[in-house]
Amino acid sequence: MAKVTGLEGVVAGETDIGLVDGEKGYLVYRGYWAKELAVSKSYEEVAYLLWNRRLPEAEELAQLKQEMAAARTIPEYLKQMIDLLPPTIPMMLVLQSAVAALGDKDNATWPPTLKQAIRLTSVLPTIIAYRYRKVNNLPEVEPLAELGHAANYLYMLTGSIPEEAHVQALSAYQILCMEHGMNASTFASRVVLSTESDICAAVCGAIGAMKGPLHGGAPSEVISMLEEIGTMDRAEPWIRGVLENRGKIMGFGHRIYKTKDPRAEALMIATEAMIGKDPSFDLAIHVEHTAIRLLEEYKPGRRLFTNVEFYAAAILKALQLDPDIFTPTFTAGRIVGWTSHILEQAESNRIFRPQSVYTGPMPETEAETV
């Protein structure tokens, strides 16, 4: 009998949050194409959609922005705890510890609430920025209530009001990070929640799964490629050199999507809109067009499309974010999807209790009947 591992292809539940169809290249959030939401809506609007099953009216959006701004502040005890963690502790473990510490009596209730989801989503970027500046011996930057979610994150990291082009690019990236079906971290959050544990514990489980390089790995290899290419005139000879030596062009092809990755399509639109506003975007667009042309020349018929990591790399490089916070930034986007699944799990909860196949030895004698 073939070894049973991974649960690949096994249906573990029903959801009306999102659809991932790799064969058709579909990514749908609550009945909307994710790629369209990413380039036409704000982070807050799409968060409202995932949490409430519909897009907000103007007054509802204003109310959500107000609630999120009010929930960004880190409690003083949590700052003290973060300060005590050695600088060598990775950011994802800091996030996991901080979220666990937020699980006080107001956030450890059953069932979980939308207010709790909003709180965790709002405070996660503040935790990342606070820790980042602390370990880099930079002064703390308090959140600004008048800035939107993406803009405030960049402001807290850098201490400067960000350029609108950078805000739009980060917002599109984080919207496309929000939800991606029953992936490992989302499944982990639902398993923990199914025991009637609290939302903070469920998110801690999700962060633990996201930390693994097979799931939340950052697009560092693509960034290294773009940095090595450096300028537009070097793109074609560099790519030809790799292909002629049977090397791999990073950022092309995807395990799930057998056609164009819809997330890459949306980030391409967002990146193309920034042409002329940042040289990193200009280089990325040129490298992509050159790589697709040469891949078809060297590997005809393979149809190797640009994947989300390529444009994520272009955006993160343009934003000049430290590689240490790439996966945390991904996490700060995905938490909306996690909390949406957590709330959905609680609506008709049943504990996950799968079976396993025992492959170990049996005792030599029959068990006695008691």
Q: Which of 149, 166, 180, 254 is catalytic?
A: 254
- Cα separations (Å) of 317 from 139, 172, 268, 309? 23, 15, 15, 12
CB of 198 within 8 A of CB of 103? yes
27: closest CA among 16, 15, 35, 17? 35
**The length of the chain, given as a count of residues:** 370
Residue tagged active-site, from 44, 309, 341, 344: 309
Largest CA distance in the chain: 81
Q: Judge residue 108's burial from the number of C-beta atoms within 10 Å of its C-beta, 0-12 exposed, 13-18 middle, 19 or more buried.
A: middle
Secondary structure tally for the chain: helices H, strands E:
17, 3
Query: Phi and psi at residue 117, in whole multiples of 5°?
Result: -65, -45
Q: How far is CA 98 from CA 4, 66, 84, 101, in A?
A: 36, 23, 12, 5
Per the annotation, the verdict on 254 as an active-site residue is: yes
* Nearest CA among 48, 31, 341, 295 for reference residue 199: 341
Cα angle: 197, vertex 199, 204; to 5 degrees:
90
Sign of CA dihedral 301, 257, 227, 151: positive
| Known catalytic membership, residue 244 | no
Measured distance CA(47)–CA(29) in Å, rounded: 10
Token pair in block for residue 194: 């199914």
**If DSSP codes are grouped into helix, strand and coil, which group holds residue 71?**
coil
Q: List phi, psi (to 5°) of 29.
A: -110, 110
CA gap 176, 178 in Å, rounded: 5
Active site residues: 254, 309
